[in-house]
Amino acid sequence: MSILFAITGVLFALIIAYLFSFDRKSIDFKKPVIMLIIQVLLVLFMMNTTIGLTILTAMGGFFEGLIKVSKAGIDFVFGDLQNKGGYTFFLNVLLPLVFISVLIGIFNYIKVLPFVIKYVGIAINKITRMGRLESYFAISTAMFGQPEVYLTIKDIIPKLSRAKLYTIATSGMSAVSMAMLGSYMQMLEPKFVVTAVMLNIFSALIIASVINPYQSDDSDVEIENLTQSTEETDIDSKTGKPKKVPFFQMIGDSAMDGFKIAIVVAVMLLAFISLMEAINIIFSGIGLDFKQLIGYVFAPIAFIMGIPWSEAVSAGSLMATKLITNEFVAMLDFKHTLGDVSARTQGIISVYLVSFANFGTVGIIVGSIKGISDKQGEKVASFAMRLLLGSTLASIISGSIIGLVL
């Protein structure tokens, strides 16, 4: 039964992608099939083998350790403000982003991340033939997040074709930055968060290969320059070459970047949660439940992904909440319902929620690319809704695939 629902969920996503394809005649179905096989093997290895489970446990333990370490600084700065008898979301979930961002900055500075990104990207391209730029970006966006990841290719963006822009933007919406993982793991099961990150890399490329088929020859990009770290984006006025910022300046910049992310997420949560509450009050005034209504819209999709019909409306409500607001709002809602749904539903929805596929992210991507090139930003804006559709379908594929082992 798990196999059947995994197939129906994936087929649904591919059929919708086919219907909205820019060029149906050019679709090379061998590419998505190869990537789907990789996903199946990946999820079976990670969730059904001793080595895979050990890796997941180690990753979860690593990020839990980072959260504990980050709390040393948080306790020192905000100790007397802590809600001792309760749970303060900003202090416990968002502020650890500052330390994790610094750690990522260090790995990027000493060239560990660029090295990993380069060779994993090469390996993925050898298998999928999606293009060296596309494969690089699919990996790097899972490391750096957005809008930072676009800085690593800012010199290339003005040269990119419309097709390449769609593919990298879909990867950007389907992935989540490594800095966010610790926060997600405090609301979801760590093993599902780690698995979702890996599945989403391929899910985004699968959907892009159907909605946006083309032959990538990388003729319009200089691949050799892709592995520069984000700290090397300043140009030396004398030599004209990228210069590396001092180590401790990088530490400070990374800390501020992490703090900015925490503040932005906190402000968005304030706005969206209050907005959702206002909408709920309005609908309850006429005897309706807004969350249940949007749940009915997504319930059939939840069902074909493998979620029992008795839980499909609740799951559909979370799926819609993520699309309308963001993944944090949906995860907070999900945290309150974890005890009321089956383990299968928990796994599928957990994986589905781990991505940036929502209306707000479309604006971030358009703004980020427009900040680098007005012309390219206008191109991305022209296919914004199809971009949102593609990234949502990618989440459906990832959620369906995890159902194989639940």
Pairing of strands 234-235, 242-243: antiparallel
d(CA 357, CA 365): 11
pLDDT at 196: 93
Residue 123 scores a pLDDT above 70: yes
pLDDT at 209: 92
Q: Which two tokens stand for residue 55?
A: 């890796």
Any residues with CB less than 8 A from the CB of 270 and at least 6 apart, and which? none
Comparing 254 with 203, the larger pLDDT belongs to 203
The mean pLDDT value of the chain amounts to 83
pLDDT tens for 56-99 read 888 888 888 888 888 888 777 777 665 565 557 777 777 887 88
Q: Which two tokens stand for residue 187?
A: 């609301």
When pLDDT is cut at 50, 70 and 90, the band that residue 199 belongs to is very high
Q: Which two tokens stand for residue 166?
A: 């769609």
Any residues with CB less than 8 A from the CB of 156 and at least 6 apart, and which? 133, 221, 222, 225, 226
